[in-house]
Chains A and B, each alone.
Chain A
Amino acid sequence: MAILAGKKVIAVGDRDGVPGPAIAECAKSAGAEVVFATTECFV
């Protein structure tokens, strides 16, 4: 997870998969700065 430490992250979630805010929380806990998070619908 150290690979995300100090990095800027854009989190794009999928409505039928993992939501964007959930990815953002994980990235934050790994030390990343989340600059944008969203969930998109691909269907």
Chain B
Amino acid sequence: MPVLKGVGQCLIHAPNLLYHNGTTQTVERLKNPDSEYLKKLPEHLRKYDDAVAYAPNQAYIGNISLEELKTIPRPWYPNSINGASRFGKYGEIMPEDEFYGLLKIADAFDLVILEESFQEEVKEKLAKHKLINEQLLARLTNAKPLGEIEKLVASHTAEGLYLGEKLVGCVRQAHEIDENLSAHIMLENLVVKASGILAVLHLLANTGINPAEVDYIIECSEEACGDMNQRGGGNFAKAIGEIAGLVNANGSDVRGFCAGPAHALLQAASLVKSGTFKNVVVVGGGAVAKLGMNGKDHVNKGMPVLEDMLGAFAVLVSENDGLNPIIRLDVIGKHNIGSGASPQQVMKALVAEPLAKLGRKITEIDYYSVEMQNPELTEPAGAGNVPEANYKMIGALAVMAGEIGRADIPTFVQKHGLPGFAPTQGHIPSGVPALGFFRDALLEGKISSAMVIGKGSLFLARMTNLFDGLSLLIEKNPGKTEETTGLTKEAIREMVAEYLREMAKGLLS
């Protein structure tokens, strides 16, 4: 059985990328450049310390458990967490200036240009980072004077990198005509790469695995890297692995909108189970486009714009060590082409059907991780509490199966559900962000099983009206059992008899 050996979960505070590059803001700038929203937005951007002390962010990096988060009353944003810190047991919350440095470290084509004094400042800060070694620091080269950067941004051949009003760098276009290599796309893709690198570095540190022992990498974010002849050609996975030092790894990208990580996890576990690879890393970088997606509603309601975090995650799937939680592959929940798209049909395919095949009840699974979007981000925009709606649907299926009464749904949601805590970064909230919490709870013996559910909106690509989803069951490791050969006494007797017959034939001839 493949096991979940560890996680890396990181956030990057990115208020300036939000302001300049989030699609809600870029569209508004095009359609309504003098809008009140754009004028008011800077006053609603959070300071780094406030983002660090925000309870859901502390939960994402593992400083508070999801059970603890349940007990912290909402609203969370006005109530900072005492003793909050940048680093947690799963990863960190990186400030934007250091992340710009990491963008340069991730850059392989001299597209990121940092201003000279800024690069020196950021180099000093990153030199103190426990996971940024000399080799990575040495990639901080080719800084330019501010004037050169200003010219590039003014000529619309580069996207500016800002800290407030100050221009501190830029990301250049990689081609004059090709839209796929425009400055805008290069910035988005380099952010995926850099944030993915950060998550992998934390994963390596958390698991203690030798980077040279990673065999394969699967990247599962929602961006596409390629040029005009192969848009989405890839390969973020190897690009991330190269910088993170995974020298013996091959890799590829898996896409499936928000369900991408669930598909990647399934493939990683299958590659390990088949014996093809021993150690597979699944990694997903963050989405610039979604920063400030519901910003207008947050500003209208006088709130800070809370969608200022880029999310990234990485997990290591390895061969059975008899200790870490197992990923079951005998029964998978999958939304089929013919499953139907209503919430009831989707959840039936992802939860009720696989559990029925195992002869398990819905109420027997300790926790479900669904779409774990932080409701504090979605409720002001009218999208409601997404995880809660998902849990109610699972509870309703338990009612239909006769496991609980209709009046028991709220109790079911409270017992088997978890609070939404992940930033609205598409694939980041979809099932996988609870993996760190699940692994800890399973190792500590607090629970025995948990289900990870990924869901994806395929219709957004205008190729199909279909929905998508995939679920996997993670369970406590029952301990390593000796591999048996499968040979029975009967079979051995037959083999000996065959050998003796052959020998007799040889003697006779």
Residues of A near any B CB (own CB < 8 A) = 14-22, 38-43
Contact = CB atoms under 8 A, between A and B. Distances in A.
Interface residues of B, number: 23
A21 to B, nearest CB: 6
B381 to A, nearest CB: 7
B371 interface: yes
A8 to B, nearest CB: 21
Interface stretch (B124-132, B298-306, B383-391): B383-391
Interface in B452-475: 455, 457, 459-460, 465, 467
A38 B458 CA distance: 12
Given A15-B457, A43-B386, A43-B429, A22 B371 contact: no
Contacts, number: 46
Nearest to B382: A42
B195 interface: no
Contacts of B389: 16-17
Given A21-B341, A39-B457, A43-B378, A15 B424 contact: no
B378 A39 contact: no
Given A15-B467, A43-B371, A43-B429, A38 B459 contact: yes
Contacts of A22: 341-342
Given A41-B460, A43-B373, A16 B386 contact: yes
Closest 10 CB pairs of A and B: A41-B457, A42-B383, A19-B341, A15-B457, A43-B373, A39-B459, A43-B424, A16-B386, A16-B389, A43-B386
A43 to B, nearest CB: 5
A40 B467 CA distance: 11
B479 interface: no
Interface string B152-193: 000000000000000000000000000000000000000000
B343 interface: yes
Contacts of A18: 342-343
Interface in B408-432: 424, 426, 429
Contacts of B378: 42-43
B371 A16 contact: yes
A17 B457 contact: no
B342 A16 contact: no
A42 to B, nearest CB: 4
A22 B345 CA distance: 12
A21 B341 CA distance: 9
Nearest to A18: B342
Interface string B374-412: 000010011110100110000000000000000000000
Contacts of A16: 343, 371, 383-384, 386, 389-390
A20 B467 CA distance: 12
Q: Which of A16, A20, A42 has the most CB of B within 10 A?
A: A16
B390 to A, nearest CB: 7
A26 B342 CA distance: 13
A15 B389 CA distance: 12
18 contacts: A15-B457, A15-B459, A15-B467, A16-B343, A17-B389, A20-B465, A21-B465, A22-B342, A38-B459, A39-B457, A39-B459, A40-B460, A41-B457, A42-B381, A42-B382, A42-B383, A43-B386, A43-B426
A36 to B, nearest CB: 13
Contacts of A39: 341, 457, 459, 465
Contacts of A21: 341, 465
A17 B341 contact: no
A14 B378 CA distance: 13
A38 B459 CA distance: 8
Nearest to A42: B383
A18 B386 CA distance: 13
A19 to B, nearest CB: 5
Contacts of B386: 16, 43
